[in-house]
Amino acid sequence: MRIRNGVFAWTRIVVALLWVAVVPLDAAAQTLVRGAPGETIQAAGGMVVSEHPEASRAGAEVLAAGGNAVDAAIATGFALAVTHPSAGNIGGGGFMIVRFPDGTTTALDFRERAPAAAHPEMFVDAAGEYSSTVHHRSHLAVGVPGTVAGFDKAHRLYGAMNWERLVYPSIVLAEDGFELSERLAGSIARFVERVDYPATIAAFSSDGVPYAAGDTLRQYDLAGSLRRIMLNRSAGFYQGETARLIAEEMQRGGGMITEADLAAYRARERAPIVGDYRGYDVVSMPPPSSGGVAMVQMLEILEGYDIESLGHNTSRSIHLMAEAMRRAYRDRATYLADPDYVDVPIHWLTSEAHAATLRATIDRSIASVSSPADVQMVAESMETTHYSVVDGSGMAVSVTYTLEGGYGSGIVVPGAGFLLNNEMGDFNARPGLTTETGLIGTEPNLARPGQRMLSSMTPTILARDGELVAVIGSPGGRTIINTVLQLVINLVDHRMGFPQAVEAGRIHHQWLPDRISAEEGALSAATVEALEAMGHTISVRGGQGLAHSILIDA
């Protein structure tokens, strides 16, 4: 690793016009850069990568003022709750991986929980039939939020700067407002058109008229909620005025969350999943995220093949990756859930022995068949957001958090100004109800009181020989795991530079539906023909995930 005057030096490649805030060595000023695809952005004093310029700026200013990477991650997360409302949040939840300068790591779980009244048969309509609307777009779809508790716990354990300093920038953003880009204005307008909650319409329109690009979005009720958090930490959310407002809205709309549910929420510190892939330490999130277990299992399977010699995105390498994905996603649905409620066999699932058993079932020239009678994963939205932070000491933070669907449940809490998640939709639909179209009724991930729902979020940190290599992650719902997997493979097996690794076309297989979905242009016509001859079904999709990542120069 290259050191400049005792400070780490690193490179970030930005894709999809993400915003990067960097801190120079003297930390006297921050540089905000909107990176073009393939552009290399370098820094030596600190770096924050997120979806919005003001959020990246908030984190970089914390670094420049002497805060560490955890402090900057908290400030960035609160700012995204203002500036990236489709996924940034205080009404949702997520996961954080932290790597300290001495190489030790930890994981923070602030995933949402089911309320005390939850039960496996809760997603049915008046006729007793399973209802997708109840499951995903109702007050019953809202889980007890975890974001604020997670940020509070991260700060108490590992923060260095005053809490108020981390929350205050988001209050200013909410009160003073920020200019809407064309993309965000269009997204909000489409969202407002499909909801009928008065508080939601009021929060994201001007007297019912959608905002246009260039307009300033001010969110005074949200500012009030953030101020209560600033003054009272997590108690300002889970108790008092904000908790009362949430509980009242739940009661009004037929939801289950009570003030007691909110007061009982706790974030959890957990041991990360750590895998060894060709000499690299892959550190990722444990259950209730499935990301770390599934990714490490796939890497264990693929380590038995010479992936480099097979070539990037050739029919032979894609076939093996798809078969590894197929098996990992089957195990995901069979075994993975909240480890506080289910005995998850993590060590077995990520073991070399289990990988060898699965590898032995792979025919190198014929596609396996995913039986419709077998289990499959529940659908997840693409609307998560990921951000990465590294400070001048080498502390690294990888955060993925979400409202689940775009804009979550669509419900803004009246008087509180923030959107609530629809994360209960990540629980399995109903006991025994498993279909080819995406529903699943297996036991581990059914809704139970207090249980955290399964997730695909995969915040990850890569290291080698005790040195930090990369901070990686992606949005993308159920595709997140495979997006991060392929970034690791591109860096390690195909020895790509960072621009090529993050821009290379990606594929996805999730057991059922039994098909490989590929980004447009990811596979040549000859490769598609060869894969189809092996028995694979290929579908073409738009973009898959975004690699919001930081690479440390070797």
- Which residues does the annotation mark as catalytic? 384
Say which residue the tokens 């050191």 belong to: 3
Distance CA 301, CA 360 (A): 10
Element (H, E) at 391: strand 384-391
Helix axes 480-492, 291-302, angle to 10 degrees: 40
Nearest CA to 445 out of 423, 428, 421 is that of 428
What is the Cβ-side half-sphere exposure of residue 472, based on CA atoms within 13 angstroms?
A: 35
Q: Please state, in angstroms and rounded to a whole number, the distance separating the CA atoms of residues 95 and 315.
A: 34
Residue-by-residue DSSP string for 86-143: TT--SSSEEEEEEE-TTS-EEEEEE--B--TT--TT-SB-TTS-B-HHHHHSSGGGPP
Q: How far apart are CA 8 and CA 94, in angstroms?
A: 28
Crossing angle (nearest 10°) for helices 291-302 and 315-335: 140
**CA–CA dist 297, 354 (Å, integer):** 8
The strand ranges marked E within 279-326 are 280-284
User: For the chain, what is the radius of gyration of the CA atoms?
Assistant: 22
| Backbone dihedral angles phi then psi of residue 314, each to the nearest 5 degrees | -85, 165
- DSSP-assigned letter for residue 84: -
The whole-angstrom separation of Cα 330 and Cα 282 is 22
- Calpha distance 272→292 (Å, rounded): 8
Q: Can you name the residues that pair with 390 across neighbouring β-strands?
A: 47, 396
Q: Token digits for 542?
A: 């738009």
* For helices 69-83 and 220-232, angle between their N-to-C axes, nearest 10 degrees: 160
3-state secondary structure 324-381: HHHHHHHHHHHHCCCCCCCCCCHHHHCCHHHHHHHHCCCECCECCCCCCCCCCCCCCC
d(CA 432, CA 277): 37
Tokens of 201: 């319409």
Which strands make up the sheet holding 507-508, listed edge to edge?
Answer: 507-508, 516-519, 538-541
Q: Measured between alpha carbons, how far is 291 from 272 in angstroms, rounded to an integer?
A: 11
